[in-house]
Amino acid sequence: TVNITGSRVVGVFFKPDGTKIYTFTSSDDTIVETTLSTAWDISTHGSADATMVTNQTHNNYPYGLFINDDGTELFTSDLQDRVVQYSMTTAWDLSTASYTRHLDTSANSDGSTIGLTFGGNGKNLYTVCANGFVYRYTLSTAWDVSTATYDSTSSDTDYSPRNVFLKPDGTKLFITNNFADALNQYDLSTPYVITGVDNSTPDSQFVTTTEEAKPYGMYISPDGADLYVGGDDADGIDQYSLG
């Protein structure tokens, strides 16, 4: 465990080369950008390079974090049933981020929108709500939430989810389960398609109780070798080896 934030970590994300980590704390609505001197090794973090407080008009109850492939678009979910988008004029530099637009998810929600992820090169958006359903949206313009339309939903609930993560090839969906103190894995028979996925019966489960009793944010490195989990224990980020 490495204490980068010292608070509830609801979102974790990395620059694709593993040299920067972005941590999101809901207690102060702040995203922190930190450089790692050794890629993917969170014990090598230094002091924060930059911070960003979410837009208090459109994103006052933030959860979840995602950054697009080139580091110019940042997304959070919001308990007011929104997905909120920010643009960075300098890639991967939080100090250049500003609010641009948001998607109202209230028409396709069973409760507060609490987590998000993307797939299909920015053409598929997935949200998870407090009562457990996962929703998929299709974007006609990649990475532009104003072009999103509702597509489909999973078939059952996963009690007390806190975030959702998709394997880049679309074959596995992961949900952080706050009630079970675990990460649930669901294997998608058709990549990126969540229709028919029963969230109440995961294909695999990893319990984080020893290190993180209340998991929230999660991230898996692109090569599948490392797992990162943040949560409500106020002790930062936990790193696990999946090799």
Whole-number Å distance between alpha carbons of 76 and 35: 21
User: Which whole-number Å values give the CA distances from 40 to 84, 122, 224, in the listed order?
Assistant: 27, 24, 12
Residue 109: the pLDDT is: 81
Of the pLDDT bands very low, low, confident and very high (cuts 50, 70, 90), residue 181 is confident
140-174 residue pLDDT tens: 999 999 999 999 988 777 667 889 999 999 999 99
Q: What is the pLDDT of residue 198?
A: 85
Q: What is the number of alpha carbons within 13 Å of residue 48 lying toward its C-beta?
A: 16
Taken as a whole, the chain contains a residue count of 243
**Burial state string for 141-158 with b = 16 or more CB within 10 A and e = fewer than 16:** eebebeebeebbbbeebb
0.75 exceeded by the pTM? Answer: yes
Sheet holding 97-104, edge to edge: 62-67, 73-78, 82-88, 97-104
Q: Which is it for the CA torsion 155, 161, 163, 169, positive or negative?
A: negative
